[in-house]
């Protein structure tokens, strides 16, 4: 099942205070080590432990059940077509880069974001307006995310995770191509 984010603007308190994390990042930098954050804009928790802002407001998630939930992980999928969602997620990314001086963001679960049929059987998903399986809103979000992040933080690293040829077949190639077509700035080759 992996992990799900519950605190979007602070690291978990299990590892100390936000100031402790800032100190850790500063010490890494003093020793020539860059810090890359695993950032999760693909889905969010649906349990009571999650942020009430995310779970209580339907604007953050899809109303249609064929778009609402990532069944494998028991999480809800962000509705990237809503300005509120896009602005929330991009402000979150910018916050980590500015407040904590993070050197890069590795975006988790990109394939689940950009494919409407990710981990779904026929009839469990809705095609896009052109009849395809690409989540056009998520692709537009990723493009905007990369543009804004690199506009305010030139030279910061952005990369993607969630491209697995074994788990998702030939579409992983399309995921890589989609990321390359919408991202800018330095990237890791994973």
- Please provide the average confidence, as pLDDT, over all residues in the chain: 79
CA atoms of 100 and 125, how far apart (whole Å): 38
Phi first, then psi, for residue 59 (nearest 5°) are -65, -20
pLDDT value of position 113: 87
Q: pLDDT (tens digit, 9 = 90+) per residue, 9-22? A: 888 888 789 999 99
Confidence of residue 169 (pLDDT cuts 50, 70, 90): very low
The answer to whether residue 164 scores a pLDDT higher than 60 is: no
Burial category of 3 from C-beta neighbours within 10 Å (exposed 0-12, middle 13-18, buried 19 and up): exposed
The answer to whether residue 83 scores a pLDDT higher than 50 is: yes
pLDDT value of position 15: 79
Of 103-107, 115-119, 167-171, minimum mean pLDDT range = 167-171
What pTM did the predictor assign?
A: 0.80
pLDDT value of position 75: 80
Confidence of residue 53 (pLDDT cuts 50, 70, 90): low
Confidence of residue 35 (pLDDT cuts 50, 70, 90): very high
pLDDT value of position 167: 41
180: Cβ–Cβ under 8 A, 6 or more apart, which residues?
187
CA atoms of 82 and 40, how far apart (whole Å): 17
The answer to whether residue 186 scores a pLDDT higher than 70 is: no
Confidence of residue 168 (pLDDT cuts 50, 70, 90): very low
């Amino acid at each position: 099942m992996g992990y799900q984010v519950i605190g979007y603007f602070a690291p978990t308190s299990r590892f100390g205070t936000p100031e402790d994390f800032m100190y850790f990042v500063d010490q890494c930098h003093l020793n020539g080590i860059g810090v890359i954050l695993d950032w999760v804009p693909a889905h969010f928790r649906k349990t009571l432990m999650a942020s009430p802002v995310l779970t209580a407001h339907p604007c953050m998630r899809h109303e249609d059940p064929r778009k609402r939930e990532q069944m494998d992980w028991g999480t809800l999928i962000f509705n990237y077509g809503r300005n509120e969602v896009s602005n929330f997620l991009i402000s979150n990314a910018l916050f980590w880069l500015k407040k904590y001086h993070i050197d890069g963001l590795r975006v988790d679960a990109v394939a689940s974001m950009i494919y409407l049929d990710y981990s779904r059987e026929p009839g469990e998903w809705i095609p896009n307006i052109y009849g395809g399986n690409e989540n056009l809103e998520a692709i537009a979000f990723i493009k905007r995310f990369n543009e804004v992040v690199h506009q305010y933080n030139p030279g910061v690293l952005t990369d993607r995770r969630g491209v697995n040829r074994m788990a998702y077949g030939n579409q992983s190639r399309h995921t890589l191509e989609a990321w390359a077509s919408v991202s800018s700035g330095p990237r890791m080759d994973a």
